[in-house]
Amino acid sequence: MIGYDLDGVLRDDYWPVRDKPYPKQTARERQDYDESVRVYLIGAECLWVPSADEPYVIITGCNAKFTDVTMEWLGRHGFENFAIAFIDRARTRRNMIAFKAEKIQEYGVTTFYEDDPAIARALERRCPGLQVVLVGNNW
């Protein structure tokens, strides 16, 4: 099975920037940031839609609280015949690597498209036999 990261591979990766780290934000600031993310996700550019001839999986570091807008975005852009896994833990690089490695093994992914070089290298080390294709924002 083929797997894809979402942001930076299938969807552009220009998320709004926080004005201060999450732990230092007030509840209102977090709510405002989440709303700005939702607005961004609704209008995000689609970089590529994989063929639906064979099932594939999207393994994303996107928080599950954005499932609704992400699924709407995927549907609007014609994504079909896929499974999707949203990160289920704090969104740190270490956690993203562990999460993606677990899902790659769970789904039996043999080729994975990733845009972050550090995550790509770590996945190659953690998932023997996995082919990782490193992509940029403009493929």
- pLDDT (mean) for 55-59: 98
User: Per the domain annotation, does 128 fall within a domain?
Assistant: yes
Contact 120, 100 (CB under 8 A): no
The two beta strands, 111-114 and 131-134, are parallel
Main-chain phi, psi angles of 73, to 5 degrees: -60, -45
What is the reported pLDDT for 138? 41
In a domain, 119, yes or no: yes
Domain for residue 26, yes or no? no
Give residue-wise pLDDT tens across range 66-109. 999 999 999 999 999 999 999 999 889 999 999 999 999 999 99
Range of the domain at 98: 2-13+46-134
Tell me the per-residue pLDDT of 32-53, one tens digit each, with 9 for 90 and over: 999 999 999 999 999 999 999 9
Q: Is residue 72 part of a domain?
A: yes
Backbone angles phi, psi at 77, to 5 degrees: -95, 5
Q: Say if 36 falls within a structural domain.
A: no
Number of domains in the chain: 1
pTM given for the model: 0.92
Residue 22 falls within a domain, yes or no?
Answer: no
- Residue 65 falls inside a structural domain: yes
Instruction: Look at residue 63 and tell me if it is in a domain.
Output: yes
Handedness of CA 51, 54, 60, 63 (dihedral sign): positive
Name every residue whose Cβ is closer than 8 Å to that of residue 126 and which is 6 or more positions away in sequence.
97, 101
The total number of residues shown for the chain amounts to 139
